[in-house]
Amino acid sequence: MTNTALITGSSRGLGLALARSLAGAGWSLVLTARDSLPLRAAADELGALALPGDVADPAHRRRLADAVPELDLLVNNASALGGIRPLDAFPLDGFRGLLETNVTAPLALIQETLPVLRARHGAIVNVTSDAATGSYAGWGGYGSTKAALEQLSNVLAAEEPDVAVWWVDPGEMNTAMLAEAVGAEEAAGAADPAKVAATLHDLLRSRPASGRVSLQ
């Protein structure tokens, strides 16, 4: 039986690296991201189905769920940074948008796919951050949304005994998002997403109990 994974934010960074790792192990993949050109290039490379779109769009989430009538793994990797700025100057409209992308959209996609994940004793990976637990100046907007995603995952794990739920802190990686936050030069010294993805793939193989996992 072929395993099927749906990976959001899979046109670059950790999402793309994990897709490559899973494809190498024979997984069937459905990939989504907002930027259609690199997403389609990734799908062509891996023999995957590309469905470009924004996970904050309910109609797009419905399309994703419809594309995976058999699903073994949901990876909620897509997220927005929202800028690095102190909380006293954080725009509230921007914060609402962050919540929609980083918290509401993952929960909504979980709700859409839980019936088939339950039936197949599947797994959910919610990608979080050490900003969810650390008091890093300027990271309050992003970090608070990731803290909410962690608690959502924590409760989901208690409610869904037939589904493995891991909330995964990948650590700093050399990605476009990190470069946006700290600059390209500093980001270049961070971990290679491919190595982090290999560690995450090992986690999927070993299937430990639901819980928080740090990959570095």
Q: Which of 114, 109, 5, 100 is nearest to 63 (CA)?
A: 109
Q: Is residue 59 packed enough to be buried (19+ CB in 10 Å), middle (13-18) or exposed (0-12)? A: exposed
Structure tokens at 78: 């897509």
Sheet holding 123-127, edge to edge: 49-50, 28-32, 4-8, 73-76, 123-127, 164-169, 211-214
Q: Is 142 one of the catalytic residues? A: yes
Could you say which of 142, 164, 170, 178 is catalytic? Answer: 142
CB 207 within 8 A of CB 123: yes
Q: How far apart (Å, rounded) are the C-alpha atoms in residues 41 and 96?
A: 31
Phi, psi dihedrals of residue 185, rounded to the nearest 5°: -65, -45
Three-state secondary structure call for residue 86: coil
Report in angstroms the alpha-carbon separations of 46 from 19, 27, 76, 156, 210.
Answer: 8, 10, 19, 31, 29
Q: Which residues carry out catalysis?
A: 142
